[in-house]
Homo-oligomer: A and B are copies of this chain.
């Protein structure tokens, strides 16, 4: 049963009713912007990194069809790419965007959590932690160019950046909606959201598993700016220039002062957090919820 589902579905944790059409197509949209540039770039299967040595700005294109689900492979590639850029002194800024239509990222890949051994689940969760630790603590300026929906893990990746620009399309939404699926955002998802929109909005959002449309997300401060869909990336580039005008050293120390306490909480609790996740996700009741969700996705695709 599990393997049948795993062959038929490929979707993130976010509740992505609005993504059914893109799931059907599942093609990679290569931006003409990219093709017209002369830049150093390396392409891996799930993430494409484009580095402009003139500006010191790298752009990461999430390109894992159909919906940029965060699988173990995806997360591993992400963290390795991020670490390479972090070590490259000439790289000062990072823009993260999607190469796929309508979706930034659908969040964590359910197939990494369904019908898996506890060991596999633990390895997966460690990779989720790693993604967040590296991104939230990055010394680079990080801007999310959110050109599609961004539920659950997609939202986490977005709010781990320094700045968020979203397509003003009201059909795109963003939020930590795990609760609606019967699972729970861990404390460091929660902390990141509290640091972004405050405790009360976070409480409502997590208790109800709320997804916010782009205009709603702007209103509560979950994103910083809305622009027409075709200007998301160019606006990110313009904003980046403003950020890079600030002395790196002072900006990095200020960022660290704000984020270090939140990061330290996970760093000193990685093993217990993995343990909590594994014992929760491998419960029969949770596995049953995930199966029902996968079957619903399968039916929708049929």
A interface residues (Cβ-Cβ under 8 A, vs B)? 162-163, 178-185, 187, 190, 194-200, 202-204, 206-209, 221, 224, 242-243, 246-247, 249-251, 253-255, 257-259, 285, 289
Q: Which of B195, B203, B255 contacts A207 (CB 8 A)?
A: B255
Cβ B289 vs Cβ A247 within 8 A: yes
Q: Which chain B positions have C-beta within 8 A of A250?
A: 178-184, 209
Q: How far is the CB of A263 from chain B (nearest CB, A)?
A: 13
Cβ A246 vs Cβ B203 within 8 A: no
Cβ B289 vs Cβ A179 within 8 A: no
Question: CA of A171 to CA of B250 in the docked complex: distance in angstroms?
Answer: 26
Q: Which chain B positions have C-beta within 8 A of A199?
A: 194-196, 198, 258
What DSSP secondary structure best describes chain A's contact surface? helix
Cβ A253 vs Cβ B184 within 8 A: yes
Known: A179-B251, A184-B253, A207-B162. A258 touches B195 (CB 8 A): no
6 A-B pairs closest in CB distance: A206-B254, A182-B247, A179-B250, A184-B253, A203-B258, A195-B199
Cβ A207 vs Cβ B247 within 8 A: no
Q: Which chain B positions have C-beta within 8 A of A249?
A: 182, 285
- 28 pairs, CB–CB < 8 Å, chain A vs chain B: A162-B207, A179-B246, A179-B251, A180-B246, A180-B247, A182-B247, A182-B249, A182-B250, A184-B254, A184-B257, A187-B257, A190-B257, A190-B258, A195-B199, A195-B203, A196-B200, A197-B200, A198-B200, A200-B221, A203-B254, A203-B255, A203-B258, A204-B224, A206-B254, A206-B257, A206-B258, A207-B251, A209-B246
